[in-house]
Structure 1
Amino acid sequence: MKRTGLLLLILSFTVLIVQAQRDIISINRKLSPVLLNNRRLFTDKKEQVFWIVTSNIDSARNYIRTKQLPVTILQEHAGGLLVVSARGSLLDSFVLNQPFVRFVDVPRVPHEELAVGTFDNSLNTINLVHSQYPLLNGVNMVASVKENKPDTTDIDYKARYISTPLSSGLIASHASYMCTIIAGGENSFYTGNGVAPAASLISSNFATLLPDGDNVYKQYGISVQNHSYGTGIENYYGADAAAYDASMINNPGLLHVFSSGNSGNLVSNGPYAGISNMANLTGSFKMAKNIITVGATDSFGNVAFLSSRGPACDGRIKPELIAFGEDGTSGAAAHTSGTVLLLQEYYKEKHNGALPAASLIKSVLINSADDRGTKGPDYQSGYGCLNAYQALQALVKEQYFTGSALPNFTQTFTINVPANARQVKVTLCWTDPAAVANAPKALVNDLDLELVDNNLQVWQPWVLSPAPVIDSLLKQAVRKKDDLNTVEQITIDNPISGTYTIRVNGTSITSGANQPFSIAWQTDTANQFQWQFPTAVDYAQSDADNLLRWSSTFSANTGLLEYSLDKGASWQTIEKTIALSPGNVYWHVPDTCSIAQLRMTINGQVFMSDTFTISPVLPVHVGFNCPDSAMLYWDRIPGITTYRVFRLGQKYLEPISTSSDTSIIIRQPGNNLWYTVAPMVTPNRSGMKAYTINYQMQGVDCYLKNFLVDLDNGNTGELMAEIGTTLHVQRITFEKLVNGSYAPLQSFQPVTTLYFNHTDKNLKDGVNTYRVKIELNNGMVIYSNPESIYYFLTTRYLIYPNPVKVTGYLSVLTKEEPQNTYLILYNTLGQQVLQYRMQQTIEMVPLYGLKSGVYFVMIKKNGKKEFTSKIMVQ
């Protein structure tokens, strides 16, 4: 019972923490890039106009009314879009966290599909894989994301999300973010480009911290499951850790990938109690042996300050890898999960559809990682930073072995090390049987790795000190027998050339007759250079700082870095003596839209980059949104004469037309809602696509974009209108409802601007109603929805509409907050048919199915008659 209570406490704590993290992320994901970059808009005390996309307008309206929030709904549009006037601070405090709020923006910045903000596929060379292996995209692979449910309407994985009973009932933007990193299709923007953009996705609820059933993984073909969540710091090998180890034993091709946690600055507990900044993985399930636990780095490969560190509770090396994740370790895990899919896909193509053993993929990932921080493995960065391209090369070059260890039996394998090698690296990995929950040492079957050179010198793996003392935990690894880890790694710097022998000994196999294992190996040769960013599939954003990346094994310290915008006819110097060892440098890219190329000269050797594209971000706007057509327009880019328009197809963006103009009219768009535009840098090469927009969600109707009316100085009406485009517009007219019909107030012709204003100084007592009339050259006339100003001159109450439909509501406005005030209706016989207590300055009075006819209205306050009128009910 005590154990059950503890697990329930841990589970409750988990849900609270993850819920809080999700709420923070969800609010940020609801905001447009403009609002994210201008949070001051939420602290400004003056009222502003916001666009709020809701899942249900009624829910939003009722919430605002019930809470009596000073939020004025100015317009309502199809698709749940509200145009409101409010203080940003009020929205921030009371509205953004409501479940019906899907997206918040400010006018004229229409980015409905938020792109991933901290996007970088180059640190972990994922972009290099995309460039060199364009057909490797995760097709026919399935990843499961275990947490809350993603937004299944997200266009970045359109038609690739598989609905199952496994998913949570709660939708969270954090889950959408993870899905986008793993398998985004780049439909929203280039930052929506996932690691495996053709993979399918499944969601699994993390309300239980245990793995899904074995039948689930088999039924849906799941080969990797991403776990970007945590609980608190839990330093023990729990039942959940054992369950995940067993899950991988039962499903040999399945790999579980966990984030290490975002508690790297906290003090540890358990065996490492009192030690700061170490042993703070967030969840006992992360103590599993067979999984991969991933820490986070910044764009330079440095371990993030908040990334949780190892060791595991029994001293094992954790995390095994680090990867880019400025959002935290969640993103780092997702990058790794996507990379696993690509490696599994490549292996399957070469092995008649058979999945590789998880131990093989794990060994390849760890062996190819770039060493960071302290030389060799350590408890901050594990075995190094994810390098997707090098991991794939191990499979391409078949630099791996598989085998099965027998008790007290040694197996051998041979590799050849070239003469110019700077390092040889070998990694052994096996999927170990689950240990008993809460075991002080999780290892069950102990294998030992050795490497023997030509001179019969024996090299042992790197081993860290697990002693619970900070000085010990920070020590550099030493070579010795490893009796803790299921991963063992040997490196030799500047090895002598020749044939080397790998030995794997089944030192202690206590579970089963044998123990399957995998080995990955590689050699790094001297005087090699490779561009990592930009590649042919990358964009460098113009007039902005872009981080160039490369890898180099030259002993030289510096090189000459140049760029060309004319296919190599001339070269401009970026830096004459660029330091090679960091592997990166910021370059402020020229303000142009062009193809380009880089070159690095080292000791007279020239290394050319791929031809890549320099491109600005191109905003796309909606000119009009009419039933039969819609107009898109964009800014002209100097030097660009052609633009390509894309539409979201069944799964991905598809080109639909090419235009030499900066606008296009889409005829009969139907259900095709999402569009974007890219400049054509060459006839066959496009620049960066604009943010993809849903043309119906930009606050633009049929030509009319905004129509606002307001009472100014208590006695003057201010009318403001905005149209989306002047194309084909002949005349704009403000009209006012007078004696049952609309009369013109002011006309504008010719139409040369998008913005129009009029002041009405002749307000009548009561309701003043206006509309905008748009006349086109072809004779078509478009009217706005009517908007009203309520002017209290001689009366304290306004009642409308009159006549009112029997199924409708009677609106009652009062100049002052009503107290003990009732609205009473009488029929023509003098019988009371309705009594309604007024509690707000604006009331919507239901008529409860009254019969058609004339009714007399009386308003009483504190028992005294204050107002009388009559209405017609139809």
Structure 2
Amino acid sequence: MVKLNCYTYLLLAAVLFFSNLSMAQHAEKWRKAFENDKSQTSLKNTQQYYLLRLKPDESKKELQSKGLTVIRQLDHQTAIVKGVPVSAFEDRIWQANHRWKLSSSLLGQPKKEDIEKIFTLKSTDASKTLQQLQALGLEANRKGNIISVSCNQKTLEEKVLPLEEVTYAGLESRTPQTESRVLDLNFNPNTINKVHHFYPELNGENMVISIQEPRFNMEDIDLKGRIKPSGLEEGEVSSHATDMATIAAGAGNSFVTGKGVAWAATLTSSGFEDVMPDADEDYTSLGVSVQNHSYGTEIENFYGVLAEAFDISAHQNPTILHVFSAGNLGLETSSDGAYTDISEMANISGNFKMSKNTLSVASVDTIGRIVPFVSRGPAHDGRLKPELVTYSTSGSSNSAALVSGLSILLQQSYKEKEGTLPASALLKALLINSAKDEGAEGIDYITGYGGVDGYRTLENLRGDKFLAGAVATDERKEFMIDVPANATNLKVTIVWNDPAATANANIALINDLDLTLTGPDWQEWLPWVLDTSPTAVAAMTKAERKEDHLNNVEQITIETPVAGTYKVSVNGYQVTEGNQDFYIAYQWDIKDSFEWDYPTGSDNISFDGETVGYFRWKSTLANTTGRLEYSVNNGDSWTLIAKEVDLAKGYYRWESPEVTTPAIARIFVDGISYKTDTFLISTPEQVKVGFNCTDSVRLQWRQVAGASHYKVKTLGAVWMDEILQTADTAVTLAKADYPTSLFSIQPVLENGMMPLRSLTFDYATQGVGCYLSSFYPENYGTEGVYLNVGLGTYFGVKDVQFERMTEGGFIAIGTVKPESTTVRFLDTQPNQGLNIHRAVVRLENGEEILSESADTYFLSDRAFMVFPNPVERTAWLNVYSKILEEEKARICIYNINGQEVLNSVLSSDRAAVSVEHLNAGLYIYHISTSGDVLKGKLLVK
């Protein structure tokens, strides 16, 4: 809901007014902002910056032929140009002042002298500009052609902007923050599970993914052994970066939830201190083909030098895909740009995400509902952002990492077939075109083109459901696709890697291509285009079919296509120079079809990242409901789950029984059964340490129903390696044979299927010693002292002997033959006062294992015990008593003159009293309750 004040009404009215202005009126608007008040009426024959009113369809190439270069596109009708104008432009060109160099967030800001800020500048000669700034006494530094300068806005406008080489000045946040804190790994909603099942050979091997943020933990067991040092790492280790690396490319050594999308890919790290892309030569030398950026800064609705830098990087490295998280500022409102004060819209975190050739990813929950705190579009100029969503309730960081991992698998598949990496624009086209609609119907500024469908994307890639070409201005390319009679939901998407716009461009698009689709009946369809008007209502308005002159992604859909040959046409509406490469992806569904997405034959329900399982499918069946059942005896009998399942939802929530068993499920629709593969229902195994002795360790676990044997695995150089198989439920290992203390147990059923294995555990941290895990005494009223022993295992244990200390040493007071891992013995004749006990575990092989000795105080004959006596002034006086139910005891101490020097309530039956204020000497103590008084002498030393 938009909160409107008077200023907002005026602003929105002005924006709506300008959106309907004529070209002359557009130019007049910008002329008032940028015209040089000191300029003469006639144009000088020197190279200057000018404000130019463009003619309809006037190309940049035409302007260049007449000596003008477009520097900043203000809107579709006006631009800042540079050059020597000719008389043909007299009636539509004005000399411009220097304020056109300001980013939109600075336009209209007062020239405050008292507020120092760090401005980002772009210069055509950074060295010269840096020297000029230093000569002005300003603090500045540079990276490439980008300069940071500290000053106030008055100084910026009066001294910095007039510098000839400076072409841009803006406030760009260069302090990135990671955007999710929790690893929630669940690949089922985006069909990554299906990719892993049907294409297990696609694992990212020999591919390199870069994680740009603080360094991930290179010793993490899901990442180690696959790290390529980059020289670009930051020193700090980040748990967030470790999570992102795990989602994208975790090995799964820790558990199933530690297995990433591209689980064998090589990982490298790059710091994000200055929020800039890496150098081209670094990407090349490291072999990086995907870089993940799960971080953000502030809401910045403008195309700045960072956005330009990433578009340049993508354009110069056309096979590298930059994947950004959309941000987690979805509940915030933009305070600048065209979408100022529109509540909870246009809040993508960072101007670098305004780039065109990258991919921004937002989040939905496990059933496709919008996550409120995740950032939303549009981009600063109305372009559709974010492009995609994936599952994550923790934030868009995790979503970006998932897409980064999937992109690696897509690149691997293409490379294995073609021998080269695919263009990043092709990957974008396939990912976008294969997405399933989420949120509101059709494309929108919250879920973009929809939710990622990893399996469908891979199938379309491997099925060559894409086209490629290039066009120049006014050139037209046509392609034919044959659509069968049983097709539904035809979808076609074009993507091109557009040249970078100049920083400050109000409209980022440079090369404008137009997509059209013509049916066999000559009906023509245009792309879906969203309303870019700066209002909340417009932002939520359903897309319309019309020409798109804003995005470098265009999509056409036809819900019910007729059979026949369709013509896909691409027209070069305006291409600055040469040819513009493009890629087209297409697909259709098949009528009256049903396909299971989850579970597959490799899946376990419900612990593959979901604590509660969801059956998932795709359906174009005419009937909208079905009967859902499952069987655990290979279909001999079936158990009803639900009578009328809504097929249009594509999912059903199921709390599976707590059993370990193979199972199958089916949906009955109109008498036809659609069965899943045989999947597993199981819970993770729990492994315990029986003993952890100097030379050996014993691991043990429960019997798994139906298991024929168990695989014992330990951490190798990269993976959890199998070291042995056993039909038993325990194994004793010689430590000398294994350098690591990390192990896991994998059950194997009689049919060869493998239920969930145990989490990988470190036996050295389980708190179990050599058989003994614990020993402690406890008073048992007046009957004696119970002695308690905890064993890791009683396998190989002859008995446990219990001993008590006497003046002559420890003596045996009893033995117990263990029948479980908990052993108890009652000492019925303990000493009055202090007792020291220990336990001896005696093994069948004759070895003995001693526990640590343990002290306890036992009182039955007397009510109180006072010790030590004599007592040092610096020590505590202990007063032990029988357990007092509700009654409080009190101690009073008197000196030899009968004067009371201490009076204290005993707070418990094991009280400690300070005597440090007493002088050395002899005292009398009285300990009293309602029914008794104990008197005695106390010597303080």
Deviation at 1:2, TM superposition (A): 4.5
- Amino acid aligned to 2:760: T
Q: 1:553 aligns with which of 617, 620, 624?
A: 620
Return the match for 1:695 from 763, 780, 805: 763
- 1:636: how far off? 2.3
The alpha carbon displacement at 1:535 in A equals 0.2
Match of 2:700 among 628, 633, 640: 633
| d(CA) in 1 for partners of 2:635, 2:788 | 54
Which of 610, 618, 634 pairs up with 2:677? 610
Where 1:305 maps in the other structure, the secondary structure is: coil
CA distance in 1: counterparts of 2:875 and 2:347, whole angstroms: 60
Equivalent residue letter for 2:572: G
CA distance in 1, matches of 2:291, 2:730: 44
Matched, 1:672 2:672: no
Residue 604 (structure 2) aligned to one of 532, 539, 548:
539
Q: Which residue does 1:793 correspond to in 2?
A: 867
Distance change (3 Å), C-alpha of 1:624 and 1:483: same
Judged with a 3 Å threshold, the aligned counterparts in structure 2 of structure 1 residues 495 and 142 are, in CA distance, closer, same or farther, namely same
For residues 798 and 161 of structure 1, what CA distance do their matches in structure 2 show? Answer: 61
Offset at residue 756 of structure 1 (A): 4.8
* Counterpart mapping for 1:86-235 below 5 A: 118-235=184-301
2:404 is aligned to: 337
Q: How far apart, CA to CA, are the structure 1 residues paired with 2:619 and 2:698?
A: 50
- Alpha-carbon deviations, 1:445-491, whole Å to 9, x = none? 11111111123222111110111100011100111111111111111
C-alpha contact (below 8 Å) 1:416/1:498 kept by paired residues? yes
Provide the C-alpha distance between the structure 2 equivalents of 1:335 and 1:295, rounded to a whole number of angstroms: 11
Say which is worse superposed, 181-190 or 716-725, in terms of deviation: 716-725
Partner of 2:588: 523
What is the match of residue 387 of structure 2?
320
Q: Which residue of the partner structure matches residue 585 of structure 1?
A: 652
Letter in 2 for 1:528: S
- Which of the two has higher C-alpha Rg? 2
Is the CA contact 2:120–2:172 (under 8 Å) kept in the aligned structure 1?
no
1:702 deviates by: 1.3
Q: Which residue of the partner structure matches residue 799 of structure 2?
A: 731
CA–CA separation in structure 2 for the residues paired with 1:445 and 1:718? 85
Distance 1:755 1:444, change over 3 A: same
The amino acid across from 1:659 in the alignment is T
Please say which of residues 606-615 and 530-539 is displaced more in the overlay: 606-615
Counterpart in the other structure of 1:469: 535
Q: Does 1:449 align with 2:515?
A: yes
Which residue pairs with 2:305 in the alignment? 239
Structure 1 position 567, deviation (Å): 2.2
Q: CA deviation at 1:590?
A: 3.1
Do the aligned residues in 1 keep the contact of 2:301 with 2:346 (CA within 8 Å)?
A: yes
CA contact (8 A) 2:349 2:375 kept: yes
Q: 1:221 and 1:423 mapped to 2: Cα distance?
A: 38
Q: Counterparts of 2:264 and 2:615 in 1: how far apart (Å)? A: 27
Amino acid in structure 2 at the alignment position of 1:469: T
Between 1:549-558 and 1:717-726, the stretch displaced more is 717-726
Deviation at 1:623, TM superposition (A): 0.8
Kindly provide the CA deviation profile for residues 582-634 of structure 1, in whole angstroms up to 9, marking residues without a partner as x.
Answer: 01112232333221112223233332211111222221111111122211111
Q: How high is the sequence identity, in percent, across the aligned residues?
A: 39
Change (3 A) 1:786 1:347: farther
| CA apart distance, 1:735 | 5.4
Alpha-carbon distance between aligned partners in 1 of 2:764 and 2:820, rounded to the nearest angstrom: 22
CA shift, 1:299, in A, is 0.4
Q: Relative to 1, partners in 2 of residues 1:164 and 1:733: Cα closer, same or farther, differing over 3 Å?
A: farther
Is 2:473–2:573's contact at 8 Å kept on the other side of the alignment?
Answer: yes
- Cα distance in 2 for partners of 1:797, 1:487 equals 86
**Correspondence for 2:749:** 681
Return the offset for 1:428: 0.7
Mapped partners of 1:797, 1:378: distance in 2? 81
* Shift of residue 157, structure 1, vs aligned partner: 2.4
Question: How does the TM-score come out when normalised to structure 2?
Answer: 0.71
Preserved CA contact (<8 Å) 1:544 1:589? no
Give the Cα separation in 2 of the matches to 1:792 and 1:244: 78
**Alpha-carbon spacing, 1:12–1:763, altered in 2? closer, same or farther (3 Å):** farther
Partners of 2:842 and 2:872 in 1: CA distance: 33
2:296 aligned counterpart, secondary structure: coil
Change (3 A) 1:426 1:782: same
SS at the partner of 2:556? strand
Query: Do structure 1's residue 373 and structure 2's residue 470 form an aligned pair?
Result: no
Aligned to 2:324: 258
One-letter identity of the residue aligned with 1:379: Y
1:363-402 Cα shifts (integer Å, max 9, x gaps): 0000000012222210010000000111111111101112
CA distance 1:795–1:600, change in 2 (3 Å) = same
More displaced, 773-782 or 317-326?
A: 773-782
In the alignment, what sits opposite 2:726? Answer: 659
Structure 1, unmatched stretches of 5+, are: 26-115, 800-811, 817-859, 868-874
Q: 1:501 aligns with which of 559, 567, 578?
A: 567
Q: Note closer, same or farther for the CA distance 1:12–1:370 as it changes in structure 2 (3 Å cut).
A: closer
For the Cα contact (< 8 Å) 1:733–1:744, is it kept in 2?
A: no
Indicate if the aligned counterparts of 2:605 and 2:680 stay in contact, CA closer than 8 A: yes
Distance in 2 of aligned mates of 1:232 and 1:322: 20
User: In structure 2, do the counterparts of structure 1 residues 122 and 866 end up closer, same or farther at CA, with 3 Å as the change threshold?
Assistant: farther
Distance in 1 (alpha carbons) for counterparts of 2:548 and 2:410: 28
**How has the CA–CA distance of structure 1 residues 209 and 544 changed in structure 2, closer, same or farther, with 3 Å as cutoff?**
closer
When residues 164 and 497 of structure 1 are mapped into structure 2, their CA distance, relative to the original with a 3 A threshold, is same
The alignment partner of 1:377 has SS state of: coil
- Give the stretch that moved more between structures: 130-139 or 5-14: 5-14
Conserved 8 A contact 2:172-2:351: no
Shift of 1:783: 3.1
CA distance in 2, matches of 1:794, 1:242: 79
The answer on whether the counterparts of 1:709 and 1:719 sit within 8 Å (CA) in structure 2 is yes
1:351-366 residue pairs with structure 2 within 5 A? 351-352=418-419, 354-366=420-432
Map 1:272-421 onto structure 2 (within 5 A): 272-352=339-419, 354-421=420-487
Q: How many angstroms does 1:577 deviate by?
A: 2.5
Question: Offset at 1:653?
Answer: 2.5
Q: Which residue of 509, 513, 524 corresponds with 2:578? A: 513
Write the distance in 1 (CA, Å) between the matches of 2:296 and 2:540: 25
Q: State the 1:744 CA deviation.
A: 4.3
- 1:745 CA displacement: 6.5
- Give the Cα–Cα distance (whole angstroms) in 2 for the partners of residues 273 and 706 of structure 1: 65
Measure how far apart 1:243 and its partner are: 1.1
Structure 2, gaps ≥5 residues long: 1-115, 122-147, 151-170, 858-864, 879-914, 923-941
**When the two structures are superposed, what TM-score results if normalisation uses the length of structure 1?**
0.76
1:362 CA drift (Å): 0.5
1:83 maps to none
Give the Cα–Cα distance (whole angstroms) in 1 for the partners of residues 871 and 228 of structure 2: 56
SS at match of 1:342: helix
Q: 2:526 aligns with which of 433, 457, 460?
A: 460
CA root-mean-square deviation:
3.2
Question: Does the 8 A contact of 2:173 with 2:298 survive in 1?
Answer: no
Return 270-279 or 755-764, whichever deviates more. Answer: 755-764
Question: Relative to structure 1, is the Cα distance of residues 864 and 548 closer, same or farther in structure 2, using a 3 angstrom cutoff?
Answer: same
Q: Deviations over 1:631-681 (max 9, x none)?
A: 111122344453332333332223333333321212334313222223322
- One-letter code aligned to 2:553: V
SS of the aligned residue for 2:190 comes to coil
Q: Which residue, out of 559, 568, 571, partners 2:638?
A: 571
